[in-house]
Amino acid sequence: MARAEEIAEGAATGASNSIYNSSKNAIARWVRKNAATPQWAGEGIALNAIAPGVIETPMTAELLANEEGRRLLMEGSPAPFNGPAGPPTAPAGLLRYLTSEENSYVTGQLIFIDGGAEAIRRPETL
């Protein structure tokens, strides 16, 4: 297995969450730093990022297929609002809005779409 595949597999299975989490943090910081610049906001381009929680995908299908897997997902990423996983339409709908002409004022945001996991993990953080 190639090194990149090992890293990706580790991130998917939780073996190397630091790489996965670091990359998400880097993207969020880049969005915040660049959204209000002349190159983005000055050109009328909204720059945002979403932070999805567990979503029903081929990567999560095996865990969602049984009670033990769903329990593990809820422990690792608690989602009291319709958990343990969101449908693919949830982030798709948010992305559709954020990239549409209807979005005339939201920019520079990291939007969590995770069933409430972020609110549980860091209730005091904005």
Look at residue 18 in the predicted model and tell me its pLDDT. Answer: 83
Q: How many residues does the chain have?
A: 126
**Domain locations along the chain:** 35-121
Tell me if residue 105 is catalytic: no
24-33 burial, b if ≥16 CB within 10 A, otherwise e? eeeeeeebee
> Any bridge partners for residue 86, and if so which?
55
CATH topology of domain 35-121: Rossmann fold (3.40.50)
Which stretches of the chain are DSSP H helices?
A: 3-13, 17-34, 58-64, 67-76, 89-98, 117-121
Query: For the whole prediction, is pTM greater than 0.85?
Result: no
> Per-residue confidence at 2, pLDDT binned at 50, 70, 90?
low
Look at residue 80 in the predicted model and tell me its pLDDT. Answer: 94
Q: How far is the C-alpha of 69 from the C-alpha of 21, rounded, in Å?
A: 22
Q: How far is the C-alpha of 95 from the C-alpha of 53, rounded, in Å?
A: 14
57 exposure class (CB count in 10 Å sphere: 0-12, 13-18, 19+): exposed
88-125 burial, b if ≥16 CB within 10 A, otherwise e? eebbeeeeeebeeeeeeeebbbbbbbbbbbbeeeeeee
Residue 7 tokens, joined = 């890293």
Q: In this predicted model, what pLDDT tens digit does every residue of 58-103 receive, in sequence order?
A: 999 999 999 999 999 999 899 999 999 999 999 999 999 999 999 9
Out of 7, 10, 11, 20, the active site residue is 20
